[in-house]
Structure 1
């Protein structure tokens, strides 16, 4: 069987093309994220793989859970359901976001801080990171007290770890080498 990301790519591209032509990238990003969340539920996975559940019933379940209002989104979901590709929704959503970010010249940044950050601190860190990475960043922040101090940032596959824990590990490695 083909890998999920291979299956997801053409669907994500098609969704991006439709969303771009409709000038609705954010709407589609939310729609795909919601659909992926629904599809990831174990109960929905079980229903999707039940041969006694028709495609129309599965489509109705998704429409009710997500609140689909646009025909293009309804048609997209119908295609996925009819082709048995509901399990690929998470990968489709991820690939769609990659297309969206590339188009907008932006990226997601996940900041993990040792302590809760004020909005002004997040704005300052985000501004500095935007200069470093050369693109607009959509920052999300979480707290991990095990960092001891400082923060760690992940942008795509790049990680910038400025935490005290990481510095202590580097010092330990240098001293024991």
Structure 2
């Protein structure tokens, strides 16, 4: 996977620069969402590896008539270079660049129980001084027992009951 990210990075950076300069970041983000979903389908992965399928046919599978001329050309470049399977990684890297450009960071919140909108807004407000604007995605993990665990990039804040119990266990063993 690390190799795919390395191969995808120049494409993601190029398409981000193109979209940023043209003021079309939202439409490119939407297009890359769709393209990545298509590229992830097992049938399409099989198609990409089939030597009987010509590049124009592969481009048609991805384009489907809903892409701009620039987006279609991008797909054509990927197909011509045998890199269409990198679209999920290109999308992910593009979103990271877009979020950085917009000043927004992604945060994964693991909670022992479902959180309502008010609690999420309060959590985002509490984290804002440390991390800035955050886009929260919430996952329920009953093994946490209580509290939350927040991951922003490579930084993790563990305020869960399970995390505190593990910390106490480690301290008692020393």
How does the TM-score come out when normalised to structure 1? 0.91
Secondary structure of 1:51's match?
A: coil
Counterparts of 2:67 and 2:117, CA distance in 1: 34
Mapping of residues 81-96 of structure 1, within 5 Å:
81-96=79-94
Mapping of residues 112-131 of structure 1, within 5 Å:
112-131=110-129
Unaligned segments of structure 2, at least 5 residues: none
Counterparts of 1:68 and 1:81, CA distance in 2: 17
Counterparts of 1:152 and 1:31, CA distance in 2: 32
1:75 to 50, 73, 76: 73
How does the TM-score come out when normalised to structure 2? 0.93
Secondary structure of 1:69's match?
A: coil
**Equivalent in the alignment of 1:141:** 138
CA shift for structure 1 position 26: 2.2
The RMSD of aligned alpha carbons is: 1.5
CA shift for structure 1 position 71: 1.1
Secondary structure of 1:154's match?
A: strand
Unaligned segments of structure 1, at least 5 residues: none
